[in-house]
Structure 1
């Protein structure tokens, strides 16, 4: 019976209808060349978006310090790497097109950053920091990141020895404080961004959608506001109440609620959290030097992109896009009024609340998004 089944499958497969045109068979060598070209373009696109994310986010992370309280770190504004940070076919591209090798080198310098002001440039090969040699080869980036973190924490200034144009040069860099919420680019093509209490994540799709830097700044600030206002912690606290109910029902009735109350309680006040992130995020953008004049129109575009958000839905996690538009317009008027009166550009919030919050756990399972 088994042999007959296999025979039948073979016969049916052979009988499948095939195309009838005599198409041109692509040359294997040409296909391989095109594949390499597409990988190169894809890699450069990722790096371009990553650098843009860091560039636009840098002033927001710096100027929003009043909101970050105990989530601060020092930064010099560079990225670094070598060929071992790339895998498979992409390592060859990193070598041939990006010029990377065994030594660790600077791959990006944020404009107006301490590193840029000190004179460090893309392509500088890193030899030492504060007299400590910088390793080459595999794990060089990981090891240098640990060394750099330690040196920044223990010193007010860093002395870098680099090779540029075959010459050894020294540069002194003074780090600045920024909000300790790293900006991370994901490969997802969906138009989305989210925060998990420790970092800010931006998809490739959102980078393409937010074509203007002022628009991208709105998204970054919105997610930073989620983190800074401790929305993840609030959701976890709310979920605990639901967990108690789930447990009680299970113990008293034997019914498995499958975490229904935990999930529902976790979503309590979700729309208010999103509205607060919009509100606080606009202030962050303004004090960071971005133009918020057309902020509401960006969210209108988001509403058109996701038509389901246009209608009111009390069960939704986000406010409707029309409600969001009007609220943002009102917030912009509030900010303009404060500017006219010479008032401090801070949201209407009890600053004691900002000062009395605890640092969240390092690992967060939940995330709040756009």
Structure 2
């Protein structure tokens, strides 16, 4: 088991008080906190070798380039990509999804079909709607049931010769459901379709092996994995990345430029126009080092224990309903209390120093499915404790008593 008290000492922000109360941070599905080890890497970059990469012959540029490319290799190893140039640095998951959607604009034809699940984040819905509008492709939805699980029989019925792309999150940010992505990937490949998996919520909890999954594209964000905001990666199979045109034009992504014609650089630079978030990429590598030093199997086991405990304690509160009761889920609990608006609960919890998320969590179709305006979402990380769960439960009880 984890030495959680030792781990908590790595996170300076956990010592804060909010509204004169000890901070209980339970909004990890939105953004995880950053350990001192990663903060030190960020400070070291700006203090000691801040320079642009790939283009300079001077010492600082070469040092920054080496550390940036070493981070790419760490990410390649972590996700078990076959080649380092299959790892494309992005500003985050949304950027990665839009890069792929833009590229497929030139590959889809009218009446081609693209499938998306009913439990997606808006960033894995809107780009595909825009793609469908541009190309005349037809967007179809894989439905979900009351437990917050995809209805796989319908998914298999939707697949056909016209299916060209399938999109699904690995884990739902609103419900915590772990989707059967290996079945989805294999079934899509059987009809010749490509698959993009949104791994933003899964990456902090599950160490995905992109080769074992045989996934075509997998996207993640560093800020959900103890890293900085504004950086992430898109993994893509080399064959697919070579088929897609560049997403942006500018410096770095070119081989040769004349006013008559421009030729593009090889992977990964073809998709990395302009000066990247150099420090962010290096810090992402440091964040992976930190999480791997703890161990993802230990993290998963501990978070499952937290989830089970929190679920049991919250369900003891009269009138409380949890949305998302899939058999396979991770440490996210979305709930409401009958007769109380989630925003009001979140406001009272904030006064008690408890940070949760309220609203539709950028997953409005899920809320429409349940016919609710939103939920209170408590999302746990390996640095949270059962004592913090107890504080949350007492806070929800207090909010209920005040609002009913």
Q: TM-score, length-normalised on structure 1?
A: 0.26
Q: Between Structure 1 and Structure 2, whose CA radius of gyration is higher?
A: 1
If asked which structure has higher relative contact order (CA below 8 Å, sep 6+), I would say 2
User: Which structure is higher in helix share?
Assistant: 1
Q: TM-score, length-normalised on structure 2?
A: 0.24
